[in-house]
Amino acid sequence: MDAVGAFRERFGGEPEGVWSAPGRVNLIGEHTDYNGGLALPIALPHRTYAAASPRGDRVLRVTSVQTGDVVEVSLDEVGPGTVGGWSAYVAGVPWALAQAGYAVGGLDVAVDGRVPLGAGLSSSAALECAVGAAISDLNGLGLLESDDARAVLVSACRRAENDIAGAPTGGMDQSASLLCRPDHALLLDCRDGATEHVPFGIGAAGLVLLVIDTKAHHALVDGQYGARRAACESAAATLGVETLREIAIGDLEGALSRLPDEVERRRVRHVVTEIDRVTATVAALRRGEYAEVGHLFDASHVSLRDDYEVSCPELDVAVAAARDAGALGARMTGGGFGAPPLRSCRPTRWRRSSGVWNRHTAEGGSARRSASRSSPAGAPTAIRRRRDASEGRGGGGVGRAARLAARDRTPGYTNAAYRVLVAASAQVRPLGSAPPLSML
Ligand code: GAF
């Protein structure tokens, strides 16, 4: 079943349209966003779809393909602490838009989350942004029409996550979901919201970027994420700066010497060096020096593991295995506490035989690729209107064939104990639209 099927089954009738938004992989710049720092995410081909219709009242009804339940709430009753579970990420969006002064009416929405849940790939932001895109169009808010308008939606989706879902996250994920462009990483300056699209064409250098899902579940609402954030804010207060972004790399040692708390010293060291690594990674990407990018990935992982303490044994093992297998570099990506690692390496196919993953050098994915490329921009017959959050920036227009390809691939997420997939490569274009993953 997909989002449209769930809509028909649970609400009856046809949705007014289907909107979608992608998950993301952060190349580097982890736990920097809430410190006013830099991050460098790319959009994933994996998306969350929202089939929705407006209602004539103030009721929000939400269902999902994955859970099967229907949650009904009055928009007038949504507020911090009033909605629990996954539907808080949905209900928070109209609430946040209303808080920002937009007139938002009730709606029925059925979601189909194709971004792996709890895997550090921003399934929650993809959900918020897909719903936000639907609400914007259904209410004529125009929040997808320009990057400035999208910034408003980014901020509403972040508020939904912070205030209604209770995850004190920093906004990188929503920015990635709504602002990333195909074949580019998004250099995001979280101090002033400035963005720059950095060409990310590693395929031309014969490289692929793999995302390995360790299946070690992570959550951002269990207090650990908030504790890291609080430590950074405390250190910033001690140092007399608004955010840790104000600490230049050259001033790091001096700043550390003024911090009495050993844990805070390590947290600050991670944040300041990680921001510097983002700048260095962008420069290395621009020069095509991918071995250097790999070294920066490695350094980022060590910093996240030892100074920020957000890695876990599964991640460390996967990162070490990737390096042993010839990766140029490897690191955990996302919030941590069990999120998947990221590695950059020569293109390789992996197959499982006798319970062991083996590398093969055969080419793969061409059939899926052509299916994606030939996929029509039009909608399935049941859908009258269809819109992707990346529409208008060269990455939109996920067609039916692409959507079916995504569905075909989904069982891979549940069967393998250890999954390797190609997140981005020369063969995978455009990023952020069709789902071109070679799921092996
Ligand atoms: C999670 C959060 F949602 C982001 O805001 C960011 O802090 C990230 O962890 C770590 O870089 O994805």
1 CB burial (10 A radius; 0-12, 13-18, 19+): middle
Please name the residue ranges forming H helices in 143-261.
147-159, 172-179, 224-239, 252-257
Among protein residues, the one with the nearest Cα to ligand 1's atom 3 is: 169
- Specify the DSSP class assigned to residue 439: B
11 CA to centre of ligand 1 in angstroms: 34
40 in ligand 1 pocket by Cβ < 6 Å? no
Which pLDDT value is given to residue 366?
Answer: 27
Domain ranges for the chain, please list them: 3-439
Residue by residue, pLDDT tens for the chain (440 residues) are 999 999 999 999 999 999 999 999 999 999 999 999 999 999 998 999 999 999 999 999 999 999 889 999 999 999 999 998 899 999 999 999 999 999 999 999 999 999 988 777 889 999 999 999 999 999 999 999 999 999 999 999 999 999 999 989 999 999 999 999 989 999 999 999 999 999 998 878 778 888 887 777 655 556 788 899 999 999 999 999 999 999 999 999 999 999 999 999 999 999 999 999 999 999 999 999 988 999 999 999 999 999 999 888 888 888 888 888 778 888 888 887 755 566 654 443 333 333 333 333 222 222 222 222 222 221 111 122 344 554 434 333 223 323 322 332 222 222 222 222 222 222 222 223 333 222 21
Contact 25, 333 (CB under 8 A): yes
Contact 195, 202 (CB under 8 A): no
33 in ligand 1 pocket by Cβ < 6 Å? yes
Which pLDDT value is given to residue 348?
Answer: 37
CA triplet 432, 123, 145: central angle to 5 degrees? Answer: 50
Amino acid 391 reads: E
Which pLDDT value is given to residue 333?
Answer: 87
Tell me the three state secondary structure of residue 203: helix
Mutate to test the pocket of ligand 1, among 42, 158, 159, 220 (most ligand atoms within 8 A of CB): 220
Looking at domain 3-439, which CATH architecture does it have? Answer: 2-Layer Sandwich (3.30)
Ligand 1 atom, smallest distance to 39 CA: 11
Contact 418, 351 (CB under 8 A): no
Amino acid 377 reads: A
Cα distance between residue 437 and residue 422, in whole Å:
6
What are the CA-CA distances from residue 158 to residues 46, 89, 349, 359, 411 (Å)? 20, 10, 37, 40, 30
Which pLDDT value is given to residue 355?
Answer: 32
Which pLDDT value is given to residue 170?
Answer: 94
Give the pair of three-digit tokens for residue 189: 């300056």
31 in ligand 1 pocket by Cβ < 6 Å? yes
Phi-psi region of 131 (alpha: psi -120 to 50; beta: other; left: phi over 0): alpha
101 CB burial (10 A radius; 0-12, 13-18, 19+): exposed
Contact 224, 337 (CB under 8 A): yes
Give the pair of three-digit tokens for residue 271: 């944040």
380 CA to centre of ligand 1 in angstroms: 34
Phi-psi region of 360 (alpha: psi -120 to 50; beta: other; left: phi over 0): beta
Q: What is the pTM of this model?
A: 0.79
